[in-house]
A and B are shown apart, each in its own frame.
Chain A
């Protein structure tokens, strides 16, 4: 218990929440505003443009992105399963599921890196047009969020897991909060994928 701060691990009766859970939801609300602003920019740039390409026309690979969608959805399932394992007090099951979650994150980033690499080697950079600009910014920022989540998950899989032996309730709560963040990252991609890869174009 850090400095005797109340409701660190046990929920406060009237809100039903422990502190970190409220904290992470508030943070996610701010992230909604961040990605919302970028989606708004997509809309504004598109509405103001005379013509707007489809993802396919710009050489975006829909099948790779669909694979990535499946990968992230799977990682969301394994993330919540890792939390459930801790409820069952099964640390090795937790490690297995958390490990798969991190692995899925790796696969996502590798596919992303491949996509970016293919673009760059064809000389397609963000400055080419506003579609590529918003594509790289949206997916790039999302990718950074995936990396951040992977780093936290890796810590909680490795050295952070020591807390299971000293304060299992607090550790379980940490996994729940990390899970909330990871699910949000998945949620953003669920909207990103159709917007960038599947939206019909606009031709004068």
Chain B
């Protein structure tokens, strides 16, 4: 990507706007953290969303991703898919283990039998 001589002033304006947005986004992130949000999941999602927007701005404008063609996008999409797979499957495994632990009281590779007799006593603890 080689911009022409005069183009840089337009580019610089864009960079400054992104700069302002990033600073604003940082302040917003801190502000949201101060507000006590009941649901942990919502709090994480909001934080993740703001960080993703900030990251996208850096990538698209500072890293000129908006001017690139499909190849780079495809590489990044591939990496993102594998990150989601890694985090997702490992979290699923952890979560599944908590369920197994609570139901059987120990790690077990045998199929989980729903203990019918205990069904009433076991309170469904959130894991």
Contact = CB atoms under 8 A, between A and B. Distances in A.
A73 B50 CA distance: 15
Contacts, number: 123
Given A33-B82, A66-B30, A81 B12 contact: yes
Interface of B: 1-3, 5, 7-8, 11-12, 15-16, 18-19, 22-23, 26, 29-30, 33, 37, 40, 43-44, 47, 50-51, 54-55, 58-59, 62-64, 68-69, 71-72, 75-76, 78-80, 82-83, 86-87, 90-91, 94-95, 98
Given A81-B12, A81-B15, A183-B62, A200 B72 contact: no
Interface residues of A, number: 50
Nearest to A63: B30
A43 B26 contact: no
Nearest to B3: A87
B8 A69 contact: no
A87 B82 contact: no
Interface in A142-189: 169, 172, 176, 179-180, 183-184, 186-187
Q: Is the interface of B mostly helix, strand, loop or mixed?
A: helix
A22 B87 contact: no
Contacts of B91: 43-44, 47
A200 B42 CA distance: 11
Nearest to A16: B69
Nearest to B76: A29
A154 to B, nearest CB: 20
A190 B58 contact: yes
A169 B43 CA distance: 46
Contact of B11 (A22, A29, A84, A89): A84
B57 to A, nearest CB: 10
